[in-house]
Amino acid sequence: MNGSGQWTRLIRNRRATRNVLAFSLLAALLLPLGNACSRMELSPEFVTSLESIAGVNDKYFKQQWTLLNYGQGGGTSGEDANVVNVWNQENFGQGVLVAVVDDGADIRHPDLLNNLLAGGSYNYLTGSDDPSSTDPDSGTALHGTAVAGIIAAERNNRLGIAGVAPQVQFVAYNFLESNTDVTEVDAMTRNISSVFISNNSWGPGPVGYGHFRPSSSAWRTAIETGLSTGRSGKGTVYVLAAGNGAFSPLGELGDSANANGYANFYGVISVCAVDDRGEVALYSEPGANLWVCAPSSSGLFNRTDVTTTDISGALYGYNKSGAAGEMTDRDYTKTFGGTSAAAPMISGVTALILKERPELTWRDVRQVLARSARKNHASSALWRQNGATPPFNIHYDYGFGVVDATAAVELARTWTLVGPMQTHTQSQASGAAIDDTGTAATSDIVVAGSGITKIEYVEVTVDITHTDWGNLTIDLKRSGSVTTSSRLLVAHKCLNDSSTEIDCTVTGNTFRFGSARHLGEAADGTWTLEVFDGDALNGVTDGKTGTLTEWQIRIFGE
């Protein structure tokens, strides 16, 4: 995107006429400076004007490049979530309830308090409705406070920041403080008839060590409960951070988002992160299961992170006394980031979408986000188009691209609701050998008469016996008129706590992968699974072999 991208997008909005007129005048005065003019060089007066045009008086709004990026901090103008136009349409997420499922939250924070649904939160340690930390020094509630601010901080209260959906209501559940299979289920289903959006800026650990991290069947059943009964049957929208482990401690490929059994489930929106230049954040995990990205920290020391709410006061939080590189106002932090910060951006935009069209189901929301996503990092040669009509742009780092709130809300306005969801499940026994030379073990499943003309998600469960799953690369391919492929797994190392390479093991010898890349395609046709020793192709032979015992494809769509 060039430097005038923000202007173009603002001007496209027909409803924000008065602001756009003023903006256009300002832009007309300044654009002759040329696109080469870095937004960093813009005068403070321009920035002040820009903020007044955005209609925001929050003190640190100019630091919120994720919402309005005019190049502050060295980023690229326009590389943001494009929310200001939505606000100009008086859409602030009113009437939408978001659950922040995290480590708690400072619900008395002055920038959050007015958007809290009183009595709706839950503390798993005390059983009370107050998920503020009982011991802030222990590092609890600070993460959830930061996440909540990105979604729900009040706008135009002359305090610190504005959330993406600054009039949304939120509740906070501190499930991470009592993290077990049982509390996972509870946190996904608590107050589910009322919860529009469940934000989950967490994932299975450890981060970056390459391990397969399945979800429990109870958690998946809980998600399905929310999809079928949440929001009075329209389905709760589950938003999950895709993960921050792209780099291992050895500086190599660490985790893939598709080895995360939570983020690769069909019922969730898996969120990746891009930096303030619209390129993949260094830590953001790649995968065929990624849905959309949102702006967040870059993963570099010298770049701008995310400004959001912090536990009030100087004693606790990210920004407590003595914290390096922080703001003087201890109620806020400017060092937040990761896919933890990207997920709540998507939750906030989803709130704006559901304010515009509350009748959208969870499946409609997913498709609106995908269809309206912006193709970022256009110079990347790794973008592909799938076989949908019209095709979706797909990328292993970016899913369908970066969220665009204005485009999403505009699309939601005219979106035709999806029909009933159909599922096609088919299994195939194989027995094909996985040798140590890189020759693929292949197996076909021919899908016929599925009745699914528009795929929404594909899950592949493989049953493989192999000493080291880290050797394996797994592709799902289609043949015929549609040839979209999904690389489900890439050969990589698994590490122990000492960062020594160990065999990657999968308990039960089965693992489920997901792919968003076939969105909108018809399901019928030949699907081929290829499993090969990816290490062997890189010249590494270790004598480890295995067998593709069986695999199953589950196609969701209409």
Partner 1 sequence: MHGLRRLIFIALLSFSYANAQEEQSHMHVWFEGDVRHEAHLQPGLVAEFGPSSMRGASSGLQKLAGTTIVKRSPGATIYRLSPAAMQKMASLPTSQSARQSPVFRSSPQGGPLRALPGGVLVTFQGNLDEATARAWSQRHDVEFDRLLPLAQSTVVVLKSQPGVPSLTLANRVRLLPEVMSATPNWWTEKWKGPDLQKAQPGNATQLRSIREQTSRRFSD
Residues 243-272 that bind partner 1 (CB under 8 A): 243-247, 251-253, 256
Taking the complex as a whole, how short is the minimal distance between the CB of residue 404 and partner 1, in angstroms?
A: 22
Nearer to partner 1, 34 or 508 (CB): 508
279 to 338, contacts with partner 1 by CB under 8 A? Answer: 280, 282-283, 286-288, 297, 299-302, 305, 335-338
Q: Which two tokens mark 524?
A: 């019928």
147 contacts 344 by C-beta, under 8 angstroms? yes
d(CA 339, CA 398): 12
Q: Which residues pair with 173 in a beta bridge?
A: 101, 122
SS3 229: helix
* Interface segment toward partner 1; rule CB under 8 A; list 82-90, 156-164, 223-231, 409-417: 223-231
Taking the complex as a whole, how short is the minimal distance between the CB of residue 146 and partner 1, in angstroms?
A: 8
* Interface segment toward partner 1; rule CB under 8 A; list 4-12, 62-70, 90-98, 210-218: 210-218
SS3 136: helix
- Specify the DSSP class assigned to residue 260: B
Nearer to partner 1, 52 or 179 (CB): 179
Nearer to partner 1, 24 or 505 (CB): 505
Site map for partner 1, 471-510, x if CB under 8 A? Answer: ----x---------x-x--x---xxxx----xx-xxxx-x
Residues 6+ apart with CB under 8 A from 294: 66, 81, 271, 272, 273, 274, 341, 342, 343, 345, 346, 349, 402, 403
Nearer to partner 1, 95 or 325 (CB): 325
Q: Which residue from 28, 218, 433, 446 is in contact with partner 1, where contact means CB under 8 A?
A: 218
Nearer to partner 1, 93 or 163 (CB): 163
- In which element (H, E) is residue 29 found? helix 17-30
Q: Does 241 bind partner 1 (CB under 8 A)?
A: yes
Q: Which residues pair with 427 in a beta bridge?
A: 552
Sign of CA dihedral 530, 438, 208, 74: negative
Q: Does 121 bind partner 1 (CB under 8 A)?
A: no
Q: Measuring CA to CA, how many Å separate 279 from each of 80, 293, 373?
A: 12, 10, 14
Question: Counting Cβ atoms within 10 Å, is residue 381 exposed (0-12), middle (13-18) or buried (19+)?
Answer: exposed
Q: Which residue from 77, 264, 340, 393 is in contact with partner 1, where contact means CB under 8 A?
A: 340
Nearer to partner 1, 80 or 475 (CB): 475
Q: Does 225 bind partner 1 (CB under 8 A)?
A: yes
Site map for partner 1, 190-209, x if CB under 8 A? Answer: --x--------xxxxxxx-x
Q: Which residue from 140, 167, 199, 386 is in contact with partner 1, where contact means CB under 8 A?
A: 140
Q: Which residues pair with 122 in a beta bridge?
A: 173
Taking the complex as a whole, how short is the minimal distance between the CB of residue 424 and partner 1, in angstroms?
A: 19
Nearer to partner 1, 251 or 539 (CB): 251
d(CA 466, CA 481): 34
- Per the listing, tokens 């998507």 go with 346
Instruction: List, as one string, the DSSP characters of 360-412.
Output: --HHHHHHHHHHH-B--STT-TT-EE-SSSSPPEEBTTTBT-B--HHHHHHHH
* Interface segment toward partner 1; rule CB under 8 A; list 59-67, 68-76, 218-226, 423-431: 218-226
Site map for partner 1, 43-82, x if CB under 8 A? Answer: ----------------------------------------
* Interface segment toward partner 1; rule CB under 8 A; list 17-25, 240-248, 263-271, 434-442: 240-248
399 to 458, contacts with partner 1 by CB under 8 A? Answer: none
Q: Does 541 bind partner 1 (CB under 8 A)?
A: no
Residues 6+ apart with CB under 8 A from 402: 79, 81, 274, 278, 292, 293, 294, 295, 373, 374, 376
Taking the complex as a whole, how short is the minimal distance between the CB of residue 438 and partner 1, in angstroms?
A: 14
Give the Cα-Cα-Cα angle 338, 171, 139 (nearest 5 degrees): 50
Q: Which residue from 11, 22, 26, 125 is in contact with partner 1, where contact means CB under 8 A?
A: 125
144 to 183, contacts with partner 1 by CB under 8 A? Answer: 176-182
Nearer to partner 1, 167 or 244 (CB): 244
- In which element (H, E) is residue 143 found? helix 142-152
Nearer to partner 1, 57 or 509 (CB): 509
Nearer to partner 1, 86 or 237 (CB): 237
Nearer to partner 1, 203 or 438 (CB): 203
368 to 387, contacts with partner 1 by CB under 8 A? Answer: 380, 382, 384
Q: Which two tokens mark 247?
A: 């780099």
Binding residues for partner 1, total number by CB under 8 A = 88
Neighbours of 317 (CB within 10 A): 27
Nearer to partner 1, 241 or 412 (CB): 241
292 contacts 404 by C-beta, under 8 angstroms? no
Letter string b/e over residues 437-449, b meaning 16 or more CB atoms within 10 A of that residue's CB? ebebbebebebee
Q: Does 542 bind partner 1 (CB under 8 A)?
A: no
Nearer to partner 1, 45 or 497 (CB): 497
Nearer to partner 1, 251 or 420 (CB): 251
Q: Which two tokens mark 543?
A: 């004598």
Taking the complex as a whole, how short is the minimal distance between the CB of residue 286 and partner 1, in angstroms?
A: 5
Q: Which residue from 12, 15, 128, 135 is in contact with partner 1, where contact means CB under 8 A?
A: 135
Which residue from 460, 462, 455, 454 is spatially nearest to 548, judged by alpha carbons? 462
